[in-house]
Structures are given as C-alpha cells and as structure tokens.
Structure 1
Amino acid sequence: MTAPIPTVFIGGNHEASNYLRELHYGGWVAKNIYYLGASNIIWFGPLRIGGISGIYKSHDYLKGYYEHAPFQGSASRSIYHVRKYEIEKFKKVNSPIDIFTSHDWPEGIERYGNTEQLLRCKPFFRREIENQELGSLPNRTLLSHLKPNWWFSAHLHVGFDAEIQWHGEGSTPYPPADPSKLPSSVPTYPVQVEKNQDEIVLSDLEDNSTDDDSRLAKKPKIDAGGEITNHNEPGCNIPNKEIPVYPPPSTNFYGDSETTKFLALDKCITNRRFLEIIDIDTGSEETKPHTFYYDPEWLAITKCFSKYMSTAQGPDTIPSNIIDEKNPDELEKAKAWVKDNIKDYRILDNFAMTASGPPPKSCNPSTNLNRFNRPKFNDTYLYRNQQTTKYCQMLGIDDPFTAQCPENDTVSK
C-alpha cells in the first residue's frame, strides 16, 4: 500500500501498539505514511511539525516503558499512556513550531472556543470542565510552553475550534498545568480507572456491529433550551521559514506565533466533521521540496535524554539538573555533537516490512485465518525494526527495547 499524499500521524489509544513500539523514535509504517513516534519534531519542506502520541492517565505518567510483548491485560492499555519522560523532552524545545499534534486535548482549551455549543453536543463534559479534568494536563503545559501556530487533536469525538492569543491587546492567559494536580509518585496499589464514555473497549472491537457511541445514544440529552438532543446528530460539529534542502533545516524560520489555532476533528463516520483542509502560511513564496527532514534541535534532545529512558515500571530517572536548567551542559554538548556528526538530515524512504503479511491467495483460509477472518499473527514476538536500529546508530544511542530481541535475530520469542 502507498498513500496518495505524504501523511504524518501520531498514535492515540486504538492503534496497533505492538507495531508502533518498533518505531518508538518514529518511522515509516507504510509507503508515504510516517509515524512520529512516542514524541518527535520533524520538518516537511518549510513546516516544522511536532507531536506526542498516546493519552494521559495519571497512574502511568511517571512510569517507564515497562510493557513487553504480547502486551496483554493492563499492558495493552498502559503502552499508549503518555509518560512524563516525553513531556520533559518537549520542555527543552526553544525554537518555534508550526504544527503540533496530540490525541487528547490540552486541558482548558475548551474555554477558548464555543464552550456553550460544545456542551450542547457533549453535555456530559460539563462536570469534567468544571473540575478541570477535560483533556490532558501535560498537554496543557506543552501548549503553554511551545505556543505553536496550529494544534490538532482528536479523541473526544467532536469537531471543535479554539484560538489563544498570546501577546498584545486582547491576549488571554493560558498558564501551564498546576504541578499539584500532576502525580508526584508512582502508585503502588491497584488503580481504579474511571471509564471514559467515549473510549472504545478493546474487547468490543471483535463485534463490528457495535458502535462505541451507541450506549450514549440511548440517553437523551437536554440543552439549555430544554430540547432533547442527541450528540450523534450532524449538528454537533462546532463552526466557528525557510530550510535548505541539505544540510540541516535552519532554526531561524518564519516568525514567532502570536496566536495558536486549535482544531479537533470528529470520528470518521457519515455526517461528522472528520476532515478539514487548511492553508498554512510559511512566510515565503519560494517553493521548497516536499521532503521529510529530521530536526537538529530534537535530535540533540533525544540524544541527551536517551540514557535516562526507563524500561522499568518504576519512575523515570532524569536528573533534576536536566529538568530544571534551561540549557544544561549535557544538552549543549548533545547539540554540538549533532552539528559536528550529522550532515544529512533527510529522512530516508526506507520502509520495509518487518512481520509477515496476509497469507497468499492460494493458502487454505481454514488454516491461515482466525475466526474473525483475519490473518493469523503471533503477537508474542517483538520485531526488530531496522529503521529504529539505523536511527539509534545515527545518534550513537542504544535502542531501549533491544533487550526484548535476541542477538542476531529479528524477533523476540
């Protein structure tokens, strides 16, 4: 399969986590489709694009990446929960970003758009908004720090627009998340997780006839005018630089953001706002090649932080000086190393399959397909992806998950 146009995506809470784990630092999942990884910043032509995968759950926020194949039970969910480690990396970014993407919304963003209409569509959001629990607290901190021109999200199954003006007359404050609301230690007791009414239960995926919104559709909603409405109805949509080709992109590109425009899209089903085409001003009429590049600043941050990445269930081990200092010596050394050692920042088009594909048409379906008419797949394996191997070699860092793959083999059994 080859995508008709270059496509970039992040992970949410319904992707194939076993495959995405192979590409923790990002990579091609198919021809012309690039996964940003757990966190990343890259360039596409003159656009600097960042993103963070997963959703926020406080009980896993401080943990390391401890999950092992076959990712069963709670590990099948915790594997896509955002870690503090990735947030701290973004807090070291000092150069402007054109586009940032996350799955769950930054907490508090709903107050900068048509909140009244949002509550007509999703009245059960009211309690979460009042308790400052709608969206991700870490993403709030990132939005306050990064201030990108555009921020795209999804997750809450509703189209929504908002805008934050950062400077000048009419600007509105958007402080980072209150640290007291973020976890300070890893829980040592079983965590009772409140059910997200919009989240698809993994076991429900086996029944294609069940829409995850169907249980909500049975409950009529009453808006401020007293009319019974349903959040599934179509009316839920809420209206409202330059880089060289070679060597690296320049960090002094088109302007600093005066505003951040936020856009969340709905589910990809009929009569819902799931697609939007946007023209983005790059500040230059010169046409740049539509090519993907690594970002020098992000490469340095990744190299600096790599030795502190934990694959244990305990908390991360990032030293306080790396977190607290604006430009710690270790990060400055990593920036110098990247500048001296990496001369070509192009992301190579090196997609290759790492696992077996669907069985050939000549195979007997009774032995090659499971009861859901899907190809059988041995999910106890963790496949070694050469894209990750080459990325780590480029930066001179260790692959954090190589211990799950035996020496001189392509899979972990």
Structure 2
Amino acid sequence: MKIAIEGCCHGALDDIYFHIASLEVQNNYKVDLLLICGDFQAIRNERDLQCMAVPDKYRALGGFYKYYTGEKNAPILTIVIGGNHEASNYFWELYHGGWIAPNMFFLGHAGIFLSHDWPQSIERHGNLHGLLKRKPYFKGDIETGSLGSPPMMGLLRTLKPEWWFSAHLHCRFEATVLHPDTEVVHEGAETVVERNPDEIVIEDEGVEDEIPAAASAAQYVPGGTPAPAVVANPDEIVLDDEEEEVAKPPPPPPKPLETKFLALDKCLPRRQFLEVVDIPTGSSSPSPVISYDPEWLAITRAFNRYMSTNRPQLAYPDEATAREAVQRELEWVKAHVFTDATGASLEVKPVEDVQVFAKTAPGPGEAESTGKVQPPHYPNPQTAAFCSMLEIENKVDHVR
C-alpha cells in the first residue's frame, strides 16, 4: 500500500492533493492513504478562527471548509492529527476521533505512530551534523535536551512501531532507532549479537538431530542416485545407546527491532513536505478501511472515569491497577463491540459502522458563521455514537 505522509498542513489541502496527483502521474502509481502530521487547521468558518492558536497575521480561512461543506471531496482517504496551531474547538467535538469531512478522519487525542512534535533525542539517531548544518538554531535545544517530547520517545521505545512520522520543526529528517532487546554490534567485518544479560539459559536446552546407524545405509546425492549401501560388519557389536551426532549450523543472528523515523516540512514551494512510502499490509482489501483497535477501546473505557470535566485533574491509578482494569475492559469490548447481531465474533469493526460524518457548524457565509466572537460548542453526533457504543458517559458534550 502506498502511503503519502505530509508534514505540517497549515490549511494547504488543495496544494497537497495537487502535489500527490502530480506524483501519481509522474510515477504511474496510486496513493492509497494520506497521513497529515498536525497543524492541520480544520477551519469551518470565520468564527472558528477565534479559536485558532496563531498570531493574528496568520489567521486565514484556508481550504478545509470546502471539503467540510461538500464543495470539494477529498480524493484520498486522509487521516490527520492535531498540532500546536489548530482551531481546537472542532477537534474537541471529536475528542475520541471521527470524520471531520467526508473521507477525512481525525484520530482524536491519540496518535501512536503519528505525532506532531518529534520524540526527544531522536536527532541523535540520524544525521545530527546535517541537521545542525541546516538548522543551526536547534543546537541550544539539543544540548539542553529540550528538543522534542520525552513522552513520545517513551512511547516509541515501548511500542516499537516499524514507522514513526512527525512534523512541527519544518524540516525533513530521517532516523533509525534500534531497540535494545538484541543490540547488534559491528566489530570489523563481523556482526556480534549481544545476549540479554537477564536471559535464563538452560544447559540442556535444545536437542541435537539424531540419525540412527541403520538410516545411514543409503544416502541421497543431490541430482543423482542414492549412494551404494554400506554393508554392516556382521561381527560388529552395536550398543543400544550408541549415537551419531550431526553438527548443526549456527542460527543466523536475529535482526534487531528498529523504528524508522521520518519528519517532514510544511507545504511550501521547494520544501520537502511530502513523502510516499510503500508499506506491505498483507490485506486483500482494494482500499484501506479505518477500523477500531480493541485495546484502545478498552483503554478508553477504563480511563473515561478519570476524564475531568472541571479544572482539577483526577488522580490516575497505579500501573498494576490500570493494567488490570484495561484487561477487564478488553474482555467487555470483545464481547459487546466485536460481535455481530448473532453474537459471533468479529475480527474487524469499521469506524463507519458507528460514526458517520455530520456537518455541525455553519460554513462560511451561513448564519452565525461570521464575527470576531467565540463560536458555541456544537455537540457532535459522532462522539455521542462512540460513547454509546462503549456505554460510557459522554463527557465531551458535558453541560456545565
């Protein structure tokens, strides 16, 4: 599956789709999915601009509203996350994720393999010298360890995804993070695999291949006929416990787990803002389908009670208690969400079975869309449907 990854969007959807269409013509391929790594700027009307976290000179309507109102259609299934320059009111309506326009899905307040900011210290896993040559003002933040997000690196080290995509710093940067389960150390021309010091090795572990003496009377010669049988000495005394050991070749060294990191620039001329990667999926589906992850649904159910509707944040449980709660909720999710009308188990639960795009705020020029005032909160039926599916309280639309 060919996936296009875009750095910061900043409302330039038309330019992004045009660029992808040009690449498809030039390279004779079809892009199946577009991922946008934040600063998306889902502005539906002029009043949404009052919720936009940018200086006044950057407040612009952008092109998203055309896809929101149906004036245009997204030509590629598009998945987006939020950044630090957003009109956060619309994304808050879809806190748990949902369709922000037809064929355009917001992941909600979660990313996993997509993040707007970089994971902290990721720059040390790539060409740091080249990065500083292009962005010398990064040096201070790198030296103080303040470039990037510490929780993001924690997630990367824990989840060990094959890919991680980011934006935010407006430059293209590649890195590869090797995970320390099995570190590969290069010594000269040899590759040495370091054993995990905590691994328990049982001395008699493994059983060598055994070939009885009688079985070696005729041996197979590749491309020819069996070799002549070896005539046994009738006077030979064969002991019952006599064995012939055959040496086994050593196993190849395990390939270390690694995460390929890619950050991209914002959509401007002569900038490296988009990359197309080919990722095997093992799926026979002709087009990608967005579906729910059962573990994430279980986490959402387990932690919904801690989502505060007031300024103070409720205290979270300790890790052991949290893990037990998630495991219980996972069983609930499998029994209540991942089943059909007959009670049979489902392997996949498409999002569109539950959440369907709905226009909640007026478009530009419509009633209550203009003026430099904060827009009201628009309850989104997708969030209500999501909470109903999980049988949790809808705290996003909580009335204070």
Task: Identify whether the pair has TM-score above 0.5, normalized to the shorter chain.
Answer: yes
Partner of 2:264: 265
- Among residues 324, 328, 332, which one is paired with 1:333 in the alignment? 328
Residue 125 (structure 1) aligned with residue 124 (structure 2) = no
Superposition deviation, residue 379 in structure 1: 2.4
Letter in 1 for 2:278: D
Q: Hey, what does 1:297 align to over in structure 2?
A: 295
SS of 2:291 mapped into structure 1: strand
**1:376: how far off?**
3.9
Cα shift at 1:171: 6.8
Query: Could you say which residue in structure 2 is the equivalent of 1:13?
Result: 84
Task: Please give the alpha-carbon distance, in whole angstroms, between the structure 1 residues aligned to 2:185 and 2:358.
Answer: 48
- For the residue of structure 2 that corresponds to 1:300, the secondary structure is helix
Q: Any idea what SS the aligned residue of 1:357 has?
A: coil
Contact preservation (8 Å) 1:382, 1:404:
no
C-alpha deviation, 1:158, in angstroms: 0.8
Which residue in the other structure is 1:141 paired with?
A: 154
Q: What is the aligned counterpart of 1:385 among 353, 357, 380?
A: 380
Match of 1:168 in 2: 182
Q: Is the 8 A contact 1:148 1:257 kept in 2?
A: no
Aligned-partner residue type, residue 289 of structure 2: T
- For 1:38, give the aligned amino acid: H
What's the counterpart of residue 178 of structure 1? Answer: none
Superposed, 1:3-402 pairs within 5 Å as 3-39=74-110, 51=111, 100-166=113-179, 167-170=181-184, 258-282=257-281, 284=282, 286-287=284-285, 289-320=287-318, 323-325=319-321, 327-328=323-324, 330-342=325-337, 343=339, 345-348=349-352, 350-359=356-365, 375-376=370-371, 379-402=374-397
Tell me the CA shift for residue 33 of structure 1: 0.6
Distance 1:273 1:171 in 2: 33
Contact 2:79 2:106 in 1 (8 A): yes
Tell me, yes or no, if the aligned pair for 2:184 and 2:256 is still in contact at 8 Å: no
Cα offset, 1:336, TM superposition = 1.1
Structure 1 runs not aligned, ≥5 long: 40-50, 53-99, 173-255, 370-374, 406-413
The residue type equivalent to 2:151 in the other structure is: P
Query: The residue matched to 1:101 in structure 2 has which SS?
Result: coil
Distance 2:310 2:122 in 1: 33
Larger Rg: 2
Residues of 2 paired with 1:338 and 1:169: CA distance? 37
Kindly tell me: are residues 335 and 271 of structure 1, through their superposed partners in 2, closer, same or farther at Cα, counting changes over 3 Å?
A: same
Distance change (3 Å), C-alpha of 1:119 and 1:13: same
Give the AA of the match of 2:306.
Y
Q: In 1, distance between residues paired with 2:365 and 2:256?
A: 50
SS at match of 1:34: strand
Q: CA separation of 1:257/1:25 partners in 2, compared to 1, >3 Å: closer, same or farther?
A: farther
**AA in 1 matched with 2:148:** G
Q: Percent identity?
A: 45
How many residues were matched structurally? 249
- In 2, the alpha carbon distance for the partners of 1:279 and 1:377 equals 44
Question: How far, CA to CA, are the matches of 1:376 and 1:257 in structure 2?
Answer: 56
Q: Cα–Cα, structure 1 residues 277 and 171, in superposed 2: closer, same or farther, change >3 Å?
A: farther
The corresponding residue for 2:216 is none
The offset of 1:151, in angstroms, is: 0.3
User: 2-side partners of 1:404 and 1:276: how far apart?
Assistant: 43
Report SS of the residue matched to 2:296. Answer: helix
Q: Deviations over 1:178-216 (max 9, x none)?
A: xxxxxxxxxxxxxxxxxxxxxxxxxxxxxxxxxxxxxxx
Provide the C-alpha distance between the structure 2 equivalents of 1:380 and 1:292, rounded to a whole number of angstroms.
30
SS of 1:276's partner is: strand
CA drift of 1:121 comes to 1.2
What CA distance in whole angstroms lies between the structure 1 residues aligned with 2:185 and 2:303?
Answer: 34
Once the two structures are TM-superposed, the CA of residue 168 in structure 1 deviates from its matched residue by: 3.4
Query: Under a length normalisation based on structure 1, what TM-score does the superposition of the two structures give?
Result: 0.56
Structure 1 counterpart SS, 2:74: strand
Letter in 2 for 1:4: P
